[in-house]
Amino acid sequence: MTMQRTPLLMSKLLDRGAWIAPDEEVVTRTAGGTHRQTYADTRRRAAQLANGLIDHGIEFGDRVATFMWNGWRHLELYHAVPSIGAVLHTLNIRLGAGDLEYIVNHAEDRIIFVDADLLPILERLVPAIPRVERYVVCGDPDAEPWETSLPDAVDYEEFISGFGDGIEWPEFDENAPLGLCYTSGTTGNPKGVMYTHRSTYLHTMAEAMTDTLNLSAADCACGVVPMFHAMGWGLPFAATMLGAKQVMPHRFMASEPLLDLIASERVTISAGVPTIWQGVRALLEASPDRHDLSALDRLVCGGSAPPISLIRWYWDTHRVEMIQGWGMTEMNPLGTVSRRIAKRSQLALDEDARFANVAKAGLLSPGLEMKIVDEEFRPVPHDGKALGELLVRGPWVCSEYYHDPQPEKFRDGWLVTGDIASIDPEKYLIVADRSKDLVKSGGEWISSVDIENHIVGLEGAALAAVVAQPHPKWDERPVALVVSAPGAELTGDRVIAHCAERFARWQLPDEVLFREALPLTSTGKIDKKAVRAELEAEGYRLPDLRRDAPSARSA
Amino acid sequence: MTMQRTPLLMSKLLDRGAWIAPDEEVVTRTAGGTHRQTYADTRRRAAQLANGLIDHGIEFGDRVATFMWNGWRHLELYHAVPSIGAVLHTLNIRLGAGDLEYIVNHAEDRIIFVDADLLPILERLVPAIPRVERYVVCGDPDAEPWETSLPDAVDYEEFISGFGDGIEWPEFDENAPLGLCYTSGTTGNPKGVMYTHRSTYLHTMAEAMTDTLNLSAADCACGVVPMFHAMGWGLPFAATMLGAKQVMPHRFMASEPLLDLIASERVTISAGVPTIWQGVRALLEASPDRHDLSALDRLVCGGSAPPISLIRWYWDTHRVEMIQGWGMTEMNPLGTVSRRIAKRSQLALDEDARFANVAKAGLLSPGLEMKIVDEEFRPVPHDGKALGELLVRGPWVCSEYYHDPQPEKFRDGWLVTGDIASIDPEKYLIVADRSKDLVKSGGEWISSVDIENHIVGLEGAALAAVVAQPHPKWDERPVALVVSAPGAELTGDRVIAHCAERFARWQLPDEVLFREALPLTSTGKIDKKAVRAELEAEGYRLPDLRRDAPSARSA
């Protein structure tokens, strides 16, 4: 061939970062302060770890699991495991025991690396995951020595000690598996997405583009999104490739320690779900002068859609650009991003118009393709109104689930996302809802997400969930569950009146129920499935189906 | 496989640009003004062109040549030809007839698209390129209708007219050939580099990264580098993918029309060789208030190293960042770039230190690897001093020349670049010289480029070439040829004194020869081969080899 066929292997990324920026830091929050090491250290320790894994007998394609927070050892595993051709399997520590047992057994994990503070959770699973050969425990340097009932457990430092800190990574096909993430499905067992070196390498290149996350070697990146969620949205890989500083919060993700870390390490870009940034905002509003945010430039917000009021608050108050991203575990995960100025034609827009764009899921990353289709898979027009099921295609989109193909999720080479969306004439993706969360009322669709985002824009509303409830005439009708902000005096009528400012009468929730809290999923989103289950357990019925209902729309 | 194997095909790029930014403009300078069309137009016309080519019988892998300036039709060819699986062969209009005849025949071009104003050059070649089946002429809409002696010539608009403006691009292997560029070698015949879809697609992604060219959809990109030089440095592809505005100067590349175009179209990023930016600077200095450069943000400068004084002038005077790039036709062509702030550790540097970095060839693009080696191919230390031959590797580096493998240019999967370079501890590439241009004096190497760049930093020195001349004792000694700026009164002693401020005595030129002009290569660089040939034709001898030499170092 005329051009080199150099495979796109992830081992090149750490090698580049450690080569170009050997002295740049990887900083991890610990119980007593911070742990700091350089990329040169990380490269040496990743080599020791790789040699240790090979010595243990880990071979090409074997699964090595992590049960860990974001931290420097997790980063070493991110690079060492794939670089020797093994598969990094990041276990979601927030899943229930049944799911975790299923996942460990389904993946056939040979080793599990576990953070010491998470030992109690893992220990309970041991009887059900007998094929795990080895547990490697990662202790906090500032904490007491760990103790565990795990069989044959060894300390991480002991596991890697004695091994050489140099290694020549092997070359192999770029379509080799690299990492495994399971999605917690709404029905059936969790499904595994097996990323390849090629998919993740291309995804890393895409994240380093100006028009996506604008990542640069001059950045200091703090991923608050856990490294067990879709590979920490790819941030650890991209930051390493560029030689950018990395800051890792470990388990200290409450607003206060997080803000301390962002300020003291001069973080320039951070990433997390909307609830994180809502909490941080509340703290900043409560004590506006305590944290120095002068270095912070961008907040990536994904997992669910941030309210426009939140996006705007960060810009107006701190000149921090909140980049909305939409993606899926099935796509590595980056799909679309919304930037303040995403096209040349937007240079002339006023701020309101810009924020209206940022409130959309965004423009598709270079490298991907998308379309929306009706139930017969016919294309739906891109008018920003017509809804269809979203299909995506591209080199970092999965084509089957691991050892569980699920052919109905794929069609003609496209991933059927399960998201209901519109695409506007400017080609912005606007995600209306997960198909299972849409409210189907009288043959029309109501987006629960749109109403939720509008409700939390109301002062005094902290969280909102809108779910469908069965109705004999309309099929389904929406009900809103709202958590008030501390001290706020909100009424159902006030919430409905606020919704009526934007939505048609038939789209308004039939009732507003106030709650102390709402159940969250393992990825920090509001768990609509659990909300619906709670209502069912309570024997909830819509107001006009209740004999004693005094009013259709009060709490 | 678990992830989609979507091939990296260039047809995706125009489709994305025309989809996401259908109304963004492609503006071309014409004889009477500008030609303007949108990306939607470009997509439609590229489809017509593709259908016309298929109708003509162009098949997968066939070569379709262009003999054209930068313009909208050239852009249509850039996308249409590769997207149907044919090969775009960009002929360098500045080559001599012998080279051009060799190249057209070696490439077996079936069709040549030619700009009407270039007809006289091409017409002379016809008898020697009998296998070309068809000539398609691109007329300037503001000029007189073209006439030509070319056999069977057809107008571009006629060639595409009548064909449908819709097409579904075929899918094929991403390692399929995409484009062909010949390098004008110093010895032997020109050598062809056959880019593949994969190599160019990955190169396009790399150019859209923050840390390389920082290209964005909000940019207005004006490539002054001809589209027949290493695919216009990839700018037409990257700008199209992002949906950025594109501005094309066609043949109007003199400083005055270029500056008019940059100002009137609000160009944000432009790219060209140093001589272009030196000319533009001279014009800006002569009439400082005539052109509005407020939109201009970055100038990419490659082909040869720009003097640090030039880089600094653009920043100090216009706050325009000159990005130095180093690359080769053999690498698509991007290799390294130098940015004002390229690492986090540089945030604390003062301006002088930053410009000292920008004056280096730069940091390696993500995706590539490089090393410097001695004559036995042993690695040379990265201390910024030790010189070695530069070797590069990566997915957009060529592995052989087209139908002319040249195995001595490749070694163990690396391209032997022919550049002599050092790498400093910060991993900056510092290109000392082309191996053939180095002066080998007394067993030591003298970089002709370093001395040339230093000389043009002297007020009154417009151009400088330093070449080796044979010497019985030292092997070779350097001689400087200098073109003075208009009106400047420069002497050889003044030039030597200026050089002595930086270089050791043994590195100083033995003589300074003043010239009215210096020969330039087809890519706008000073043609050292021609300079050496001129000196030889004149019977030049070094001063201390001349009986009558009054002084060793005067003109």
Each residue's pLDDT tens digit, B296-337: 999 999 988 888 899 999 999 999 999 999 999 999 999 999
Which one of B2, B23, B26 makes the best mutation probe of the A interface by having the most chain A beta carbons within 10 Å?
A: B2
| pLDDT surpasses 80 at B542 | yes
Q: How far apart are CA B542 and CA A343, in angstroms?
A: 59
pLDDT digits over A239-295, tens only?
A: 999 999 999 999 999 999 999 999 999 999 999 998 899 999 999 999 988 999 999
Report the pLDDT value the prediction gives residue A434, as an integer from 0 to 100: 76
Q: Does A333 touch chain B (CB under 8 A)?
A: no
What percent of chain A is modeled with pLDDT above 70? 98
pLDDT value for B398: 96
Q: Are strands A388-393 and A410-411 parallel, antiparallel or unpaired?
A: unpaired
Of the candidates B244, B245, B399, the beta carbon closest to that of A4 is on B399
d(CA A499, CA A88): 45
pLDDT grade for B550, boundaries at 50, 70 and 90? low
CA of B173 to nearest chain A CA: how many angstroms apart?
12
Tell me the mean pLDDT in the region A514-539: 88
Average pLDDT (B123-148) is 96
A217 contacts on B by Cβ (under 8 Å): 211, 342-344
pLDDT tens digits along B229-278: 999 999 999 999 999 999 999 999 999 999 999 999 999 999 999 889 99
Identify the band that residue B104 occupies on the pLDDT scale cut at 50, 70 and 90. Answer: very high
- The pLDDT of residue A547 is 67
Q: Beta strand A388-393 with A414-423: parallel, antiparallel or unpaired?
A: antiparallel
Q: Quick check: A552 pLDDT over 50? A: no
Smallest CA–CA distance, residue A532 to chain B, in Å, is 33
Q: Among A102-111, A137-146, A298-307, where is mean pLDDT lowest?
A: A298-307
Q: Do β-strands A87-90 and A63-67 pair in parallel, antiparallel, or remain unpaired?
A: parallel
3-state DSSP assignment of residue B60: coil
The average confidence (pLDDT) of chain A is 93
Rounded Cα distance between A533 and A518, Å, is: 12
In this predicted structure, the answer to whether residue A406 has a pLDDT above a threshold of 60 is yes
CB B458 within 8 A of CB B483: no
* Mean pLDDT computed over A50-62: 98
Q: Is the pLDDT of residue A551 over 80?
A: no
A52 reaches B (C-beta below 8 A): no
pLDDT tier at A555, thresholds 50, 70, 90:
very low
* pLDDT confidence band for A443 (50 / 70 / 90): confident
The pLDDT assigned to B552 comes to 45
pLDDT of residue B214: 97
Q: What is the mean pLDDT of residues B408-414?
A: 93
Cα distance between residue B299 and residue B235, in whole Å = 12
pLDDT of res. B435:
76
- Look at residue A499 and tell me whether its pLDDT is greater than 50: yes
Is B277 one of the annotated active-site residues of the chain? Answer: no
- Find the mean pLDDT for residues B424-435: 90
Mapped onto helix, strand or coil, the DSSP state of residue B72 is helix
Give the pLDDT score at B189.
85
* Residue of B426, B445, B525, B529 marked active site: B445
The arithmetic mean of pLDDT across residues A188-204, rounded, is 95
Are B5 and A399 a contacting pair at CB < 8 A?
yes
Taking the Cβ of residue B113 and every Cβ of chain A, the question of whether any pair is shorter than 8 Å is answered with no
Kindly state the average pLDDT of the residues A445-449: 84
Q: For a pLDDT cut of 90, what percent of chain A falls above it?
A: 81
Whether residue B405 lies within 8 A of chain A, CB to CB, comes out as: no
Q: What is the mean pLDDT of chain B?
A: 93
Identify whether B440 is a catalytic site residue: yes
Asked whether the predicted pLDDT for residue A197 surpasses 60, the reply is yes
Of chain B, the percentage scoring pLDDT greater than 70 comes to 98
Which positions in chain B touch A219 (Cβ < 8 Å)? 344
Predicted ipTM beyond 0.95: no
Give the model's confidence band at B554: pLDDT under 50 very low, under 70 low, under 90 confident, else very high: very low
Mean pLDDT of B371-379: 94
What confidence tens digit (pLDDT) does each residue in A121-180 have? Answer: 999 999 999 999 999 999 999 999 999 999 989 999 999 999 999 999 999 999 999 999
Residues 6 or more apart in contact with residue A313 via CB below 8 angstroms: A281
What local confidence, expressed as pLDDT, does residue B186 receive?
53
CA atoms within a 13 Å half-sphere pointing along the CA-CB vector of A543: 15
Predicted model pTM: 0.89
Write the DSSP symbol of residue B526: B
Mutate to test the interface with B, among A2, A25, A403 (most CBs of B within 10 A): A2
CB contact at 8 A, A468 and A439: yes
Does B403 contact chain A (CB < 8 Å)?
Answer: no
Helices (H), A72-125: 72-83, 97-107, 119-123
Report CA A235 to chain centroid distance, whole Å: 11
- Of the residues B1, B3, B191, B349, the best mutation for testing chain A's interface (the one with the most A CB atoms within 10 Å of its CB) is B3
**What single DSSP character describes residue A398?**
B
pLDDT at B347: 95
pLDDT at B483 over 90: yes
* Separation in Å, CA of A3 to nearest CA in chain B: 4
Verify whether residue B12 is a known catalytic residue. Answer: no
Cβ of B20 within 8 Å of Cβ of A364? The answer is yes
Q: Which residue of A has its CA nearest to B217?
A: A343
Local confidence band at B547 (pLDDT 50, 70, 90 cut-offs) = low
